[in-house]
Amino acid sequence: MDNFKKEFRVGLIVFGVIGVVFAGFIWVAKGQVSSLSSRIAGVQGLISQQRTISSQLIELREDKDLAEKYERVMDVLVPTEKQIFDLKKWIENQAKTHGVEVVFDFAGNKTDPMESSLGNYPFSIKISGNVFDAASFISFLENQSPQFLMSFEDLSAGTNQSGSGQVALKGKVYFKANE
């Protein structure tokens, strides 16, 4: 009988420890999901900001007095179609700097530039790594790219089986006619 009580207590203790570990795991996962949600909301705000900036650039172009300044900025920010193909390598290098892994592909048909508008290539990026590093990387691409003008149109985020962050991003990179 004493042996039964001893086994019962040991079993109860093991079951309790498993319960505590499981509850701890749920608590940690809940915090990460909440953090990820707030980061996604922040990135969506950045996407909205990028659209506003693009609209402002269009308005700036209509102002004849500032046309020369606009053209200088656009010459720096907007590559030619031939230079667009450096984007993949540049993004991969920036991903390494930010500690994330990326898969970049041009996806879809290009739109040719016209006299009064830029051309664009649609692209997709899959980002894997720490959620905060991924958010930092996306922010860098959107706000600090020294040579590519991009807009982001679709973003989805989650975690993979190992708990690492996964972000899928679709957008466009703009180009001017080859000189």
What CATH number does the domain containing 85 carry? Answer: 3.30.70.60
The reply to whether 25 falls in a domain is no
User: Which pLDDT tens digit goes with each residue over 84-114?
Assistant: 888 899 999 999 999 999 999 998 898 988 8
Q: Note down the domain range covering 101.
A: 39-175
The answer to whether residue 161 is domain-embedded is: yes
What is the rounded CA–CA span in Å between residue 39 and residue 100?
A: 16
Quick check: is 17 in a domain?
no
Where is average pLDDT lowest: 31-35, 41-45, 133-137, 174-178? 31-35
Q: Establish if 4 belongs to a structural domain.
A: no
Residue 16 lies in a domain: no
Work out how many domains the chain is built from and give that number: 1
The answer to whether residue 55 sits within a structural domain is yes
Instruction: Supply the pTM of this predicted model.
Output: 0.58
- AA letter at 121: Y
Q: Could you tell me if residue 2 is inside a domain?
A: no
CB 170 within 8 A of CB 124: yes
Tokens at 66, concatenated: 């500032």
H or E segment and range at residue 175? strand 165-175
